[in-house]
Amino acid sequence: MKNSQQIMKILVVDDEKDIRDGCERILIRMECEVKKASRGEEALETMETWRPSIVFLDLKMPGIDGMEVLRRIHEKDQDILVIVITGYATVETAIEAMKKGAYDFVPKPFEPAQLRIVAGRAIEKLRLRQEALELELKRQRTLADLGKEQSRTRTIIEALPNGVVVTNTEGQVVLMNPAFIRHLGLPPDTQPGNFMKDYVSDEGVVNLAMEISQGKFTEPDQAPAVEFALSEDKYLMARGRPVLSEDGECLGAVVVMHDVTAMKMLDRLKSEFVAKVSHELRSPLATIREQLALVIQGVVDEASEQDQYLLSRAKDKTQSLIDLIGDLLDVSRIECGSVAQQPVPLQVEELLASIVDFMKAKAGAKKQSLDIILPPAPLPKMRMDPMALESVVGNLVANAINYTPDGGAITVEVGGDEKTIKVTVADTGFGIEEKHLASIFDKFYRVKNDKTRFITGTGLGLSIVKGILDSMGATISVDSEVGKGSRFTVLLPLEESCD
Ligand code: ADP
């Protein structure tokens, strides 16, 4: 019989030659490798260079006593199985030997079958022991590999230049890396375990982590990025994703933060540059427009139709340039935070009614109706900069007029409660495809299709609107259906109520 790996080595120690040879024959047939010794001393000597797994040991031999040989074998190696061979008269000795650690015994004289059974039992025991050992080794190797893998992943996360923070479903931080601690300027020995708000003061980031942790965003890139300022000269950008189990269950959130200060500074420089250049361009352009207007007036009768057309095109183009510059200046002002800075108590619906009145001529030119629906009772007064509100509603109504075909209808509705004033601007125009909705508030974003191709614009209007509203803590949303129309909804918070 073979064990899974190696041939079983057996040492037979008996002073009777017949027994030694008989054992050898039987055991060789069981595919074991056998050595023999006639005395205890010889057996121990053999074992100096050759390790048997099993020893058949006669207890009654001349020379060293069998019991002593048993003791010395186990002194050398506890794992060797010793089977004592003993005469009937010495069964007690055999029992004694087993108490001292012998594995089994075979009484003399024995039949070959008896020896085979005893040897088979010992071999099986060794085989099982070997298997258990291999399993244990394998388990330890797997554990070691896993440990190595985990520590490797950990090392990588620790070495990342970006801050990484992981929260569980309750929003508690379970992991953070040194870059997170560094970026947020936390003490170097900061440990995970608390809620996100205990490490990050920005509400937007805390809410982002909480919402992702609670499973609000199931798609990987659904959650918005949040940019936040740590101080006057340090800005971070946080992006988060849900941590999902194999069956898609949300286990928490992983939020990565990186330093966007350099980009922010560059952006600020760019805005300052744009503001400066725009400012410098505005007055000469206004002069050119005035002069063109004078020329057109003066040559109205004499100039050929072609010349008049060219002059009025030049005047229109100058006007678009002035509009563009106006928009750029607005954007720059929003970016450097200088909007909505002259708040006064305002009866919102009154101002809106006058804006709508003012824009009726523009709508009339396209045979569109432009109406305002006012609340049944006056709204609470609100502290805000009238110029800011004018810019917001003016831009929304101008867009509604521009992106609605002739004869369409535009409706401005004002309502609200003690907490919010709600202004909607709805039109029956071209509508906006779903895929563009998230981008139309970005700077310079314009939807290009057959309907909008001939409508001029800068793509800055809605970004100005959004910038102004953000600076006031107000929100804007849009619903739209292609071919049916669009509805922009502005919610102005009334905390600043001045009633
Ligand atoms: P501009 O009007 O100068 O292009 P905006 O930032 O005001 O820039 O608007 C961005 C884009 O959003 C527009 O180009 C237009 O495609 C789309 N849009 C805005 N308002 C409406 C509207 N009421 N109906 C349809 N499309 C609109």
Looking at the predicted structure, is the pLDDT value of residue 180 above 90? yes
Place of tokens 């609340």: 375
The more confident residue out of 333 and 15 is 15
Q: What does pLDDT average to over the chain? A: 88
pLDDT per position as a tens digit, 378-405: 999 999 889 889 999 999 999 999 999 9
The more confident residue out of 265 and 69 is 69
CATH superfamily for 344-498 is Histidine kinase-like ATPase, C-terminal domain (3.30.565.10)
Q: Which residues make Cβ contacts (< 8 Å) with residue 412, sequence separation at least 6?
A: 352, 356, 370, 371, 372, 373, 393, 397, 423, 424, 425, 426
Label the pairing between strands 234-244 and 475-481: unpaired
Looking at the predicted structure, is the pLDDT value of residue 117 above 90? yes
Q: If residue 413 lies in a helix (H) or strand (E), which one and from where to where?
A: strand 409-416
Query: For atom 14 of ligand 1, which residue has the closest CA?
Result: 446
Say if ligand 1 is within 6 A of residue 446 CB: yes
Across the range 133-143, mean pLDDT stands at: 85
How many Cβ atoms are within 10 Å of 122's Cβ, its own excluded? 21
On whether the 161-259 domain is CATH 3.30.450.20, my answer is: yes
CATH topology assigned to domain 264-335: Helix Hairpins (1.10.287)
Q: How confident is the model at residue 89 (pLDDT cuts 50, 70, 90)?
A: low
CA 413 to CA 489: how far, in whole Å?
Answer: 9
Query: So where are the chain's domains?
Result: 9-134, 161-259, 264-335, 344-498
Choices 3.30.70.2860, 1.10.760.10, 3.30.70.1070, 3.40.50.2300: CATH for 9-134: 3.40.50.2300
Predicted TM-score of the model (pTM): 0.54
In this prediction, residue 466 carries a pLDDT of 93
pLDDT per position as a tens digit, 330-372: 877 777 666 556 788 999 999 999 999 999 999 999 999 999 9
In this prediction, residue 246 carries a pLDDT of 83
Ligand 1 mutation target, pool 446, 458, 480, 486, most atoms within 8 A of CB: 446
Ligand 1 mutation target, pool 440, 463, 466, most atoms within 8 A of CB: 440
Query: For atom 21 of ligand 1, which residue has the closest CA?
Result: 399
